Amino acid sequence: MRYVLHTAATQPIVKHQLQMERNLVHPGVVGCVQRDSFVWIEAGYSRIYYSESDIARMGEDGEKLLDPARAQASLEGSRKATDEYWKAAARLRTALGTQGAGATYAAYVDALRLVYAHIITSTGHVLAPVERELQRRLRERFGGAHEDAYHALTTPTDDDVLVRELRAWREVAQRPSRERILAHAMRFPLMLANTLSADDAIAWGEHRLAECGPDEAQRKIAHGVEYRRKLRAEQERLGDDPLARFLRDTAIARFELKACWNGEAFHMLPLFERIARKVGATARYVYLFSSWQEQQAALDGGPLVAREELERRRAYALVRLDGREVSLRSGTQALREKELLLPETAQDMEIHGSVANRGFVEGIAKVVRVDSPAELREIAQGLTREHILVTGMTNPTMLTLIDKVGGIVTDEGGITCHAAIIARERGLPCVVGCRRATLVLRDGDRIALDAERGIVRRIG
């Protein structure tokens, strides 16, 4: 079996478990058809691999979305999953410390698993049949100009969670205080990936105030309003298509789903702190390296995961979906299994992906494997337009980097992903879905980002 890198990031073991379990629990959600995948974790950094047979199966399942009724049902299911998640999260925060916390946590896990089920529907592997059919239609209508039409018609113009966040931030920036920053962070935790303390959230807010006070926030809001106005006018000129409208709506729904889990570390911080006190570990270790079964057991008063086991998982861990079984290995056992699944292979100088926003740029690769605000702030200090961001996937926490670089390359992604949409708004050349950019490219490599042909290559 051959495996392909899907994406890479610092992510918790619970997420990997639930992303595999979604295929077993929610086979009716479009795209939840995987049977063979694994995640390799080394020093806390996760690389997610899909089998080629699963990728083909996901594309076949995505053909269901060509049916308008099925596509609409998928969107409605996504919105319902988002709503149910926030209700479950609120119930769990209230239940912490009570006798029923374990059962409430189980319901929370069910809601989070459903969010992960719907997020897969919005990935490039699953949406590929819709994207191909839309491109075929636009090629017939516009000939050689079809790619520009494709990008214009698939870019959302409705307000999304990032637009709402910026407007709310403007209000915070007008009368800043520790309490208002923390309240904002809890309301929009997607801006604080892997943030596990109130002090870190405050530091994020203070840094953002320095870079984005009320005047700068208003400037960005006005720019966004004008950008979307012009884009709506262009879409009207081109003439809309139901498939393009579905992809735009899917992109909005994907942002809402991502808001559920991207900031889970912060908005569920009381959960991880409570378990950490019992285990004798940090909240970060509990969040990143414990399983959902172990977290539930801790709330139920059951056996606790040993700190030494969390340390082994931090060094090496492997989560695998093999048929209908999800397993977790740690330490040398994980390392041995990884070597069997992923033998060393030659790495090419040239990488191929999908054009998310056209353009061409040469520059210095900045390979980013972290996504906490504190770590990203340090990286951002050394960035210029000469740098090209190379990462597994982007998220809103990375906007501080995106605003400084000259282009974007990601392992994961399709036309509806965060990197694609932000690159169009910022006017940055962008290639997504490269699958192995973070494996092949090294920090400091001089690269050419050809976002006309979807090619990234080393040039020195």
pLDDT score of 346: 47
Whether the pLDDT of residue 347 is over 70: the answer is no
Task: Identify the burial level of 274 via C-beta atoms within 10 angstroms of its C-beta, where 0-12 means exposed, 13-18 middle and 19 or more buried.
Answer: middle
Q: pLDDT of 349-378, one tens digit each?
A: 689 999 999 999 999 999 999 888 989 999
**Which tens digits make up the pLDDT trace of 17-46?**
999 999 999 999 999 999 999 999 998 899
Of 352, 288, 343, 412, nearest to 8 by C-alpha is 412
The architecture CATH gives domain 350-458: 3-Layer(bba) Sandwich (3.50)
**CB-facing half-sphere around the CA of 387: CA atoms within 13 A:** 20
pLDDT at 345: 54
- Mean local confidence (pLDDT), 316-331: 97
Mean pLDDT of 414-433: 92
User: Which pLDDT tens digit goes with each residue over 268-280?
Assistant: 999 999 999 998 9
Q: What is the pLDDT of residue 101?
A: 95
Please report the pLDDT score of residue 370 as a whole number.
87
**All structural domains of the chain with their residue ranges:** 3-121+268-341, 143-260, 350-458
The whole-chain average pLDDT of the chain stands at 94
Look at residue 131 and tell me whether its pLDDT is greater than 50.
Answer: yes
What is the distance between the alpha carbons of residues 188 and 107, in angstroms, rounded to a whole number?
A: 22
pLDDT in tens, 380-394: 999 999 999 999 999
Whether the per-residue pLDDT at 158 is higher than 80: the answer is yes
**395 closest CA partner among 431, 365, 430, 370:** 370
pLDDT over threshold 60, residue 118? yes
Structure-token pair, residue 155: 């870019």
Distance set, CA 154 to CA 103, 147, 228, 249 (Å)? 41, 11, 12, 9
**Position 413 confidence tier, pLDDT thresholds 50, 70, 90:** confident
Tens digits of residue pLDDT in 82-113: 999 999 999 999 999 999 899 999 999 999 99
As to burial, measured by CB atoms within 10 angstroms (0-12 exposed, 13-18 middle, 19+ buried), residue 258 is buried
User: Are 65 and 74 spatial neighbours (Cβ–Cβ below 8 Å)?
Assistant: yes
Whole-number pLDDT of residue 349: 67
> For 172-199, what is the mean pLDDT?
96
pLDDT digits (tens, 9 = 90+) for 239-257: 999 999 999 999 999 999 9
pLDDT over threshold 50, residue 335? yes
Q: List Cα–Cα distances, 147 to 134, 152, 433, 455, in angstroms.
A: 10, 9, 17, 16
Which residues, other chains included, contact 226 with Cβ-Cβ below 8 Å and sequence gap of 6+? none
Q: How far apart are CA 441 and CA 19, in angstroms?
A: 27
Letter string b/e over residues 38-47, b meaning 16 or more CB atoms within 10 A of that residue's CB: bbbbeebebb
pLDDT at 460 over 90: no
pLDDT at 217: 97
pLDDT score of 284 more than 60: yes
pLDDT value of position 350: 81
Residue 312 has pLDDT above 90, yes or no: yes
Query: Is the dihedral angle over the CA atoms 39, 40, 44, 48 positive or is it negative?
Result: negative
**Residue 344 pLDDT exceeds 70:** no
How does pLDDT run across 57-87, given as a tens digit for each residue? 999 999 999 999 999 999 999 999 999 999 9
